[in-house]
Amino acid sequence: MLGGAPAFSEPLHVGRPSVLRPHRVLELIGGALDRRVLTHGGPLLREFERAVAAVAGVAHCVATCNATVAMQLLVRALGLRGEVVMPSWTFIATAHALQWEGLTPVFCDVDPRTGNLDPRSVAELITPRTSAIAAVHMWGVPAPAPQLTSLAREHGLRLYFDSAHAIASRCDGRPVGGHGAAEVFSFHATKLVNAFEGGAVVTGDGDLAERVRAMRDYGRNGDGTVGMLGLNAKMTEPSAAMGLASLEDLDELLALHRERHEHYAAGLCGVPGVRLRDPAPLESNRSYVVVEVDPEAAGLTRDELRAVLHAENVLARDHFHPGCHRSEPYRRAPRRHTPRSLTATEALSERVLVLPTGTSLRNEDAGRVCEVIGEAVRRAPAVRAWASSRTPAAPHR
């Protein structure tokens, strides 16, 4: 950043796919090719669904081609109408799934300590038009399920969870997956458990699972007759193979992410103004390493620190700036989607940075990233001068 060579010769990415045993993936895909069963509920899909249900501690899993479609199927299967209260602090897909199905996402503020829905803020946004609460386990940190469950019951609302980040996390002593009417996992390539691309609805409600299962296959019942409106949202056998191989390595992946998180915690200890957001005592899978930058204490803004890291080939990201309520198409109708100010969301949006972790990062790499951050803070005036002289790059999302 100040004239030397980058700290890393090759870029370090956030969310680079974790594939511990490629040979196992190829073995499972080879079996599918030998059987000539590549989609439409083959044996790998059924095995994957059983395994995901076991991890989630529920009776039913319906795997889909991606998590956004899974949320669309779920809200339709729940019969939701009108408005759904949800956090603005999430990936835009959480809102898009509702808007695409003709519902209105109403954006709520979050608890700045966890990044998850603040139940008190949710209560202030419930109106006669509200049909549900959609919570998110942000960065795998469990949302306050017991409080949200009580609130939903009090007002006669449905409750479901976007659990894209949170497989193998635990909430209120139970695995994430068994709260509310249903939860939705993502198995996108960047996730802790990946299926190349995929998602799933997990639930203890057998009738709900059957509706979602029919909807993902053109509305067809078990006998092949069409009983309702549906679409093609099936997961393929190669995706299920990748997902199974990933699940087989889940314990190792969890241990690896905990270890990386501990190395970041040690390396950033004592760096002024840069705080590792630690999910403890909540039981997170720790699949994300998130820091919060205090510009006054650090002498640098989050964006200036990100520019430094990018120059050093550390491709840190500003999840999920600027918040759904300040993104299109929702910013065009602020009163409809954002009836109240979202001060905690907007503060987090300007301060958090997600760092690389996972199988593509060694412990010594995590230590080196921390050294870069520490050096940037120590030389903040020179870094700010350098950053101000550069043409701003398009932000990474």
Is position 279 within any domain? yes
CA 325 distance to own-chain centroid: 18
- Look at residue 349 and give its three-state secondary structure: helix
CATH number, domain with residue 110: 3.40.640.10
Number of domain units in the chain: 2
**Residue where a domain terminates, one of 208, 228, 248:** 248
**Residue where a domain terminates, one of 217, 248, 279:** 248
Q: Are residues 155 and 60 in the same domain?
A: yes
In this prediction, residue 312 carries a pLDDT of 95
CA 190 distance to own-chain centroid: 9
Q: Are residues 275 and 334 in the same domain?
A: yes
CATH number, domain with residue 306: 3.90.1150.10
196 token code pair? 């190349």
Q: Is 206 exposed, middle or buried (0-12, 13-18, 19+ CB in 10 A)?
A: exposed
In this prediction, residue 395 carries a pLDDT of 46
Angle at 366 between CA 363 and CA 369, to 5 degrees: 155
Q: How far apart are CA 244 and CA 29, in angstroms?
A: 11
In this prediction, residue 394 carries a pLDDT of 47
Q: Are residues 263 and 226 in the same domain?
A: no
pLDDT (tens digit, 9 = 90+) per residue, 62-89?
999 999 999 999 999 999 999 999 999 9
Q: Are residues 183 and 286 in the same domain?
A: no
Is position 10 within any domain? no
131 token code pair? 């049909």
- Per the prediction, the chain carries an average pLDDT of 95
Is position 17 within any domain? no
- For CA atoms 334, 337, 340, 341, the dihedral sign is negative
Q: Are residues 59 and 129 in the same domain?
A: yes
Is position 130 within any domain? yes
Q: Are residues 292 and 164 in the same domain?
A: no
Is position 397 within any domain? no
In this prediction, residue 391 carries a pLDDT of 52
In this prediction, residue 392 carries a pLDDT of 53
Is position 7 within any domain? no
pLDDT (tens digit, 9 = 90+) per residue, 326-384?
999 999 988 899 999 999 999 999 999 999 999 989 999 999 999 999 999 999 999 99
Average pLDDT by consecutive 10-residue portion of the chain (397 residues)?
Answer: 86 94 97 96 97 98 98 98 98 98 98 96 98 97 97 98 97 93 98 98 98 97 91 98 98 96 96 93 92 97 96 94 96 92 96 95 96 96 86 47
Q: Are residues 66 and 76 in the same domain?
A: yes
For residues 209 and 56, is the Cβ–Cβ distance under 8 A?
A: no
Q: How far apart are CA 202 and CA 183, in angstroms?
A: 5
Q: How far apart are CA 277 and CA 140, in angstroms?
A: 12
Q: Where are the beta strands (DSSP E) in the chain?
A: 12-13, 60-64, 83-87, 104-108, 130-136, 158-162, 170-171, 174-175, 182-186, 199-203, 274-276, 289-293, 314-315, 352-355
Is position 13 within any domain? no
Q: DSSP letters along 107-162, please?
A: EE-B-TTTSSB-HHHHHHH--TTEEEEEEE-GGGPPP-HHHHHHHHHHHT-EEEEE
In this prediction, residue 388 carries a pLDDT of 81
Structural domain for 271, as ranges = 250-389
Q: Are residues 202 and 274 in the same domain?
A: no
